[in-house]
Amino acid sequence: MKAIVCEQVDQLMYVEQEEPALQPETAVVRIHRIGICGTDMHAFKGNQPFFSYPRVLGHELAGIVEQADDPSGSVKIGDQVSIIPYMHCGVCIACRNGKTNCCTDMRVLGVHIDGGMREKLVVPVSHLLVTNGLTLDQAAVLEPLSIGAHAVRRAELRAGETVLVIGSGPIGLGVMAFAKHCGARVIAMDIQEERLAFCRQWAKVDETVNALQGAKERLAALTNNEFPTVVVDATGSARSMTDAFGLVAHGGKLVYVGLVKADLTFNDPEFHKRELTLMGSRNATIEDFAAVMAAVKSGSVEVDSFITHRVPFAEMIHHFESWLKPGSKVIKAMVEL
């Protein structure tokens, strides 16, 4: 079978691999959709933490079960599935406390272990979500949307609360969509007006702020000088993540869902004065996937316009590097098999 390997920084190549063999309590899934995300792009450019080469990328995945060994009978041959790509140990302190998303021995498909940018993949049945009734596109974007939904759940957002989401890539957009879904007032911040327009159109945010045009003053005006009680930074920018401390209300929460390969510092007196809560938000749990699937099924979260670029598997390498350029206007690129 064919696979795409990131051999080293700036190098993708097609390779032939042996087809995967069915193991106890696993399923062989024929991959039909692969979403391209920031993790893939950062790995390609050498900016992804926890990463080593060579690596088969790809963790936003949807496909059809071709073989299954599931004692519970919940996964059957012919089922359409979304793959939960976070392979947790099940026994560490995080797993025992239900936080499988930050397992101490976490292995994420396409990051720590080879992912799904290939024709077939063998997956533990515990990490398959049956998505019969969704489209393949919808099933493939459950993963990035679940990361946003998990950040919203971490923040314990309440209806009517004001949240600022910094960064309007796919993860930030997911945060916005699920913040709106739970009834919050949502302000989107980015440096590109075109991206902010997409936030208004797709995520239905209430307000937008250009980060390069008096952002703090505009936020103050929008919040009666109180600032948002929750700020979620989804940029992966050290500068943005540092500056975000100054945009949170007294007694508020700052949630980092973006990841940067750097150290961050902050002014402790300012942090202490506001009694801020600083949170990391990593990956998602099966509960987040289920909540996102329900929202997509109900139509409250729309997927079609979220996917802006689409290519067949055989042409992916040719297009990949162009998606790194702002001029490509990519929100979510989807690879079809």
pLDDT, tens digit (0-9, with 9 covering 90-100), for 49-93: 778 899 999 999 999 999 999 999 999 999 999 999 999 999 999
The CB-based long-range contact list for 195-203 (8 Å cut-off, 24+ gap) reads 195/168, 196/168, 198/168, 198/173, 198/331, 199/168, 199/173, 201/305, 202/173, 202/177, 202/302, 202/305, 202/306, 203/173, 203/176, 203/177
Domains of the chain: 2-141+303-336 (3.90.180.10), 148-280 (3.40.50.720)
Task: Identify the CA nearest to 39 among candidates 62, 59, 56, 55.
Answer: 59
Task: Identify the CA nearest to 214 among candidates 187, 189, 248.
Answer: 189
54: tokens are: 């060579």
pLDDT of 38: 86
198 neighbors 170 (Cβ within 8 angstroms): no
pLDDT, tens digit (0-9, with 9 covering 90-100), for 130-183: 999 999 999 999 999 999 999 999 999 999 999 999 999 999 999 999 999 999
Alpha carbon dihedral 18, 20, 21, 24, in 10-degree steps, equals 160
In 69-169, DSSP assigns E strands to 80-83, 86-87, 107-108, 120-124, 128-130, 162-166
pLDDT of 272: 95
Please state the rounded mean pLDDT for residues 317-333.
91
pLDDT, tens digit (0-9, with 9 covering 90-100), for 274-288: 999 999 999 999 999
253 neighbors 228 (Cβ within 8 angstroms): no
Strand partners, 230: 163, 253
pLDDT, tens digit (0-9, with 9 covering 90-100), for 188-198: 999 999 999 99
pLDDT of 328: 87
Q: What ranges in 141-237 are assigned the alpha helix state H?
A: 142-155, 170-181, 193-198, 215-222
pLDDT of 311: 97
pLDDT of 48: 78
Q: What ranges in the chain are assigned the alpha helix state H?
A: 38-45, 93-96, 136-140, 142-155, 170-181, 193-198, 215-222, 238-243, 268-273, 286-298, 316-320
pLDDT of 326: 81
The secondary structure element, H or E, covering residue 255 is strand 253-256
CA distances from 190 to 181, 196, 198 (A): 21, 6, 11
What is the SS3 assignment for 235? coil
Predicted structure pTM score: 0.94
pLDDT at 244 over 90: yes
* Parallel/antiparallel/unpaired status of strands 162-166 and 230-233: parallel
pLDDT, tens digit (0-9, with 9 covering 90-100), for 297-307: 999 999 999 99
139: tokens are: 């099933």
Q: How confident is the model at residue 319 (pLDDT cuts 50, 70, 90)?
A: very high
Report CA Rg, the chain: 20
168 neighbors 190 (Cβ within 8 angstroms): yes
CA 230, CA 250: separation in Å to the nearest integer? Answer: 10
142: tokens are: 């459950």
Q: What is the mean pLDDT of the chain?
A: 95
213: amino acid identity, one letter: Q
Task: Identify the CA nearest to 331 among candidates 151, 201, 209, 160.
Answer: 201
